[in-house]
Amino acid sequence: MTAKQDKIWMQRALSLAEKGRGYVSPNPMVGCVIVSEEGDVIGEGYHERYGKAHAEVNAMNQVDDADNLKNATVYVTLEPCSHHGKTPPCAQMLADKPIKRVVVAMKDPSEKVNGRGLELLRNEGIDVDTGILQKEAKELNECWLHYIEFNRPFITLKIAQTADGYIAAPNGDSKWISSKESREKVHIWRSQNDAVMVGRNTALHDNPSLTVRLVEGRQPKRVVIDGPFELPRNLNLFSDQFEEKTIVITHNRKKSKDEADPMLKMLQSNYFRGEIIHVEKVNGHSRLKEGMRKLADHGITSLLVEGGQQLSSALLKRGLVDRLQLFIAPKLLGGGTKSIVNLDINRMEDIVPFRDHNWQQTGQDILLTANL
């Protein structure tokens, strides 16, 4: 197989892996293509759902003539696993077949694998090549890699502001600042992230649904930070069909304890069917870093934050934003709620730089995408 052919098959495996986006967390997306000695695809597959078969198994199950596996090459976007998790180890499964070579895009950095899958294959006499389309493979699983390394979700902050930097009018209304096309983009992001988050004032004022409606896609979890745990239960987040997908982050220890007790909970006539995460209170507000760590413990690897001003600013100030998606609409308000405040910057030396950024147009708006 030439280097060019290796890239072609690995690209195909990456495209397959992408199909699992939104459905495999907290696992990574993985794709696999098996090519016979003659150069024909004899099996392909991807990790489709969390807890279900890994990509290698799905690809192997497609091979209808086992003879074709002799001297075959297996392309897989992530190092095959070497541990007994929800499924048996894929590295061993591959090693037990008469294949010749395994081509891997990137090593699995998680503690339980971390090179052991590659080692197992090599010890079993299989040729192993790594690093083919590694950059692309890392980009594909950017959020998961971040979650593994930092034990918190990859956080994208989305803001829709006017040309003069406002996210709401003086009366608090903000529907709509950005155009339909921009809002559709946000719904795509919702479906791709494990969870969407808003602050308590936004929940109170906008009564958001945070659902995926403008496009087809799967519904993420919804997180609201409600320090005092006093938001009314008739808000959409607590009363619509996705109530069970709502997570409240609160510093109210007593209420979170009562709610977490299944007996006490059932006794209430209209108990909350979602989840509650308790964090410490700092300067009157929920401790954000702790909240993010606990979201990771709940298997949330990617989080889309949809404001408002205080939550966005507090996250930025604490270095808890990985990517900014800023829509700027060709409109003016001249007053109201500014998108970002109080970063405690007084001098140009302390300005927050972007690692990289690009601009594009969506509908009438421009969208600034920046990595922090």
Ligand X SMILES: NC(=O)C1=CN([C@@H]2O[C@H](COP(=O)(O)OP(=O)(O)OC[C@H]3O[C@@H](n4cnc5c(N)ncnc54)[C@H](OP(=O)(O)O)[C@@H]3O)[C@@H](O)[C@H]2O)C=CC1
Ligand Y SMILES: Nc1c(N[C@@H]2O[C@H](COP(=O)(O)O)[C@@H](O)[C@H]2O)[nH]c(=O)[nH]c1=O
Which residues lie near ligand Y (CB under 6 A)?
Answer: 160, 174-178, 182-183, 186, 198, 202, 206, 208-211, 306-307
Question: Rounded CA gap, 246 and 237, in Å?
Answer: 6
DSSP for 32-80?
EEEE-TTS-EEEEEE--STTS--HHHHHHHT---GGGGTT-EEEESS--
Considering only 76, 196, 311, 333, the residue that binds ligand X (CB under 6 A) is 311
Q: What is the DSSP letter of 212?
A: -
Task: Please report the DSSP string for 76-142 in residue order.
Answer: ESS----S-SSS--HHHHHHTS---EEEESS---STTTTTHHHHHHHHTT-EEEE-TTHHHHHHHTH
Q: Tell me which of 113, 159, 304, 320 binds ligand X, using CB under 6 A.
A: 159
259 an active-site residue? no
Nearer to Zn ion, 47 or 183 (CB): 47
DSSP 8-class letter at 255? H
Q: Are 307 and 32 in contact (CB under 8 A)?
A: no
Q: Which does 81 bind (CB under 5 to 8 A by kind): Zn ion, ligand Y, ligand X, none?
A: Zn ion
CB of 220 to ligand Y, least distance (A): 11
Which one among 24, 118, 143, 168 touches ligand X, defined by CB under 6 A? 168
- Looking at 18, 37, 56, 306, which residue is catalytic? 56
Q: Which is nearer to ligand Y, 68 or 201 (CB)?
A: 201
Pick between residue 205 and residue 255 the one whose CB is nearest to ligand X.
205
Taking a C-beta distance cutoff of 8 angstroms, is the pair 210, 186 a contact? no
291 binds ligand X (CB under 6 A): no
DSSP string, 1-21: --HHHHHHHHHHHHHHHHTTT
90 binds, among ligand X, Zn ion, ligand Y, none (CB under 5 to 8 A by kind): Zn ion
Q: For ligand X, which residue has the nearest CB?
A: 308
Binding mask 172-191 for ligand X (x = CB under 6 A): x-x--x--------------
Task: Name the residue nearer to ligand Y (CB basis): 39 or 330.
Answer: 330
Give ∠ CA 26-208-236 in degrees, rounded to 5. Answer: 90
Cβ-contact 245, 237 below 8 angstroms: no
Is 205 a binder of ligand X (CB under 6 A)? yes
Binder of residue 25, out of Zn ion, ligand X, ligand Y, none (CB less than 5 to 8 A by kind): none
For the CB of residue 28, give the shortest distance to Zn ion in the complex, in Å.
10
- Under the binding rule (CB under 6 A), the answer on residue 246 touching ligand X is no
Between 122 and 285, name the residue whose CB sits nearer to ligand X. Answer: 285
Measure the CA–CA gap between 305 and 314, rounded to whole angstroms. Answer: 12
Of the residues 24, 74, 90, 292, which one makes contact with Zn ion according to CB under 5 A: 90
Among residues 44, 306, 322, 365, the one that binds ligand X under rule CB under 6 A: 306
Residues 223 and 257: beta-carbon distance below 8 Å: no
- What single DSSP character describes residue 283? T
CB atoms within 10 A of CB 87: 16
The nearer residue to Zn ion, 45 or 153, going by C-beta atoms, is: 45
How far apart, in whole angstroms, are the C-alpha atoms of residue 105 and residue 125? 19
Catalytic residue ranges: 56
In the complex, which residues of this chain contact ligand X (CB under 6 A)?
159-160, 167-168, 172, 174, 177, 198-202, 205-206, 225-227, 251, 283, 285-286, 288, 306-311, 314, 337
In the complex, which residues of this chain contact Zn ion (CB under 5 A)?
54, 81, 90
